[in-house]
Structure 1
Amino acid sequence: MTTRSSLVRRACQDYRQYLRVILEPAMRDLLIEAKARRATLHHVFGANLFIAHAVDYVYAIRNAYGITENRRDFVREFDGLFSVGGSRLGDRKFELIDAINNALKHIRLDPKRYRDVEGRYGPISFQSLFEQDGRVLCLLDGYRFDYVSAVLAPAGRALTDWDFEDDAQIRRFARGDGDFVVDYYGAEDALMESNEPADAIDQMIAACNPRCSHCGEGEEDCVCAEYVFAGEQGEFEPRFRADFDFDAVMSRISGAYSPRN
């Protein structure tokens, strides 16, 4: 008889392999093409499919662990459970990913089955995505945005931004009870943690040039203002580091600096 522990172990191993050989390389290739403004529909639909099916692998782990839930409810709650960044689409990115994937499979969504999703975005079909100037945009009722930067990139990071050491970590991730928070600063962390005076100017430059909270680009490269979300024009919204100590850095830049009162 197959025990629960063996089912969980097998589900974790399946997910680990899926990440390694399918999702991680697919997302890596997609982001390279998107950054170079060479994104195409087949790149995006492929990555969208792989992310949508990654949800099924996580769902399988939860089922093996004995968590009883409806897949549709799980997809709807996925953003909140798994630290999906960006707030342009609230906590509904995986729901949209799942809908786009099923629209590709079925040409158009069944309006009865996807009443909530289409009530939010209007009718969804595979034609909701289209290429324009090296980007793949998503056009829905009241929405027009870069599908990679607004949806796939943050969703992909929420799934692949971890170096799982063992099955125990994967189980914690799948249950949503671990401290798995996407690090949006990444390469800046080592620099910003330094107390060396030689790094102070670079720290100040980094702190004064934040990236957009939604697309991850700097202000000069952010194109959120070209897009529409829920009927409102987007804009550059800087993500400032809450841990930046202005006075400490200024003191390392200049010994004559006097901290503010």
Structure 2
Amino acid sequence: MAIINDSTSRPVVEMTSSIRDACDDYKHYIEFILEPAKEELEAKVRNNEVLLHQAFGVNLIVAHSVDYLQAIRSAAGIKESRTDLVKSFDEKFAVSGAYLSNRKMELIDAINNALKHIRVDPRRYKSLGERYGQISFQSLVEDEGCVLCHLENYRFDYCRVVLLPALRALANWEFDSAESVLEFAKGEVIIWHGGYSDTYDPFDPSTAIDRMIEICSSPCQNCEEDADACRCSQYVFAGDEGQFEPLYSASEGEFEELMNHISPSYNRA
């Protein structure tokens, strides 16, 4: 994964006291609320010990992160509604996962709204209603240490597929200044997900075996479980059975290059 600053072609925003205060608020929210919530949920998911009320609590925390980011964007002069920010959230802040791509924060926000109002207003969440049907607080159910999301044509592990990817996109940051928080909140930090991990130097032939092992043992990009532990095949997405989707993959050309580094006689075989 690479982090790229994409602010060069955009107008510079002067750092005002209002912007700085909003950035400090978000840094505080990350350190004392988002990060602890992420670490606790990761541990409970890993041990299959998630209770329903805990999932709803984390969902509320993630949903309200939008308000902190919108406060920064508003102070910086960005005109948009909260609804607009929610709809574009996954794209702006790089929430990963193949299933429910670019729709996670919308669902998080809708589930949070359903907990408050019992059922979401279909007029407020028209596009979600067309996709998922009626969303209510009973859409989440506890099942053997997991919390499943049951919707029309959908059934999946809510914490693994939705909550944890959103939490990691929001909390896995060590901002060193208000300016860096502002860049993130404005969507000027691009997260580029490469074909596989960037732990090893792709130009160093001596790392070829390690890179091949990493690719072949890739976790699922949706639930982040190993292939043997992945349960996505038990779930349903848009009426279709899910499946293991590797987080790391290599193109045909990359695979050929790796094999040539591992065994120079590969192409002659």
Structure 2 length-normalised TM: 0.85
Paired position in structure 2 for 1:51: 62
Q: Percent identity, aligned pairs only?
A: 47
Residue pair 1:144, 1:229 contacting (<8 A) in 2 also: yes
Residue pair 1:137, 1:145 contacting (<8 A) in 2 also: yes
Paired position in structure 2 for 1:223: 231
Distance 1:163 1:178 in 2: 13
Which amino acid in 1 is paired with 2:95? Answer: V
Structure 1 runs of 4+ with >4 Å offset: 181-185, 191-194, 242-254, 258-261
| 1:232 is the counterpart of 2:240 | yes
| 1:17 is the counterpart of 2:17 | no
Distance 1:47 1:68 in 2: 28
Which amino acid in 2 is paired with 1:215? Answer: C
Residue pair 1:8, 1:65 contacting (<8 A) in 2 also: yes
Which amino acid in 2 is paired with 1:217? Answer: E
Residues 224/241 of structure 1: CA separation in 2 closer, same or farther (3 Å cut):
same
Residue pair 1:123, 1:140 contacting (<8 A) in 2 also: yes
SS of the aligned residue for 1:179 comes to: strand
Residues 12/88 of structure 1: CA separation in 2 closer, same or farther (3 Å cut):
same
Residues 247/111 of structure 1: CA separation in 2 closer, same or farther (3 Å cut):
closer
| 1:79 is the counterpart of 2:87 | no
RMSD of aligned alpha carbons: 2.5
Structure 1 gap ranges (5+): none
Alignment of 1:134-145 (within 5 A): 134-145=145-156
Paired position in structure 1 for 2:4: none
Distance 1:207 1:195 in 2: 16
Alignment of 1:27-66 (within 5 A): 27-66=38-77
Structure 2 gap ranges (5+): 1-13
Which among 37, 47, 68 is matched to residue 79 of structure 2? 68
Report how far residue 87 of structure 1 moved: 2.5
Paired position in structure 2 for 1:107: 118
Distance 2:103 2:230 in 1: 22
Report how far residue 203 of structure 1 moved: 3.0
Residue pair 2:232, 2:244 contacting (<8 A) in 1 also: yes
Report how far residue 206 of structure 1 moved: 1.5
Paired position in structure 2 for 1:165: 176
Decide which moves more: 84-93 or 144-153. 84-93
Residue pair 1:83, 1:182 contacting (<8 A) in 2 also: no
Which amino acid in 2 is paired with 1:233? Answer: E
Distance 1:183 1:27 in 2: 24
Residue pair 1:158, 1:182 contacting (<8 A) in 2 also: no
Report how far residue 245 of structure 1 moved: 4.6
Report how far residue 74 of structure 1 moved: 1.1
Residues 200-220 of structure 1: per-residue CA shift (max 9 Å, x gap): 543322222222222222211
Paired position in structure 1 for 2:137: 126
| 1:190 is the counterpart of 2:208 | no
Report how far residue 58 of structure 1 moved: 0.4
Report how far residue 70 of structure 1 moved: 1.1
Residue pair 2:195, 2:248 contacting (<8 A) in 1 also: no
Aligned residues: 255
Which amino acid in 1 is paired with 2:129? Answer: E
The structure with higher relative contact order (CA 8 Å, sep 6+) is: 2
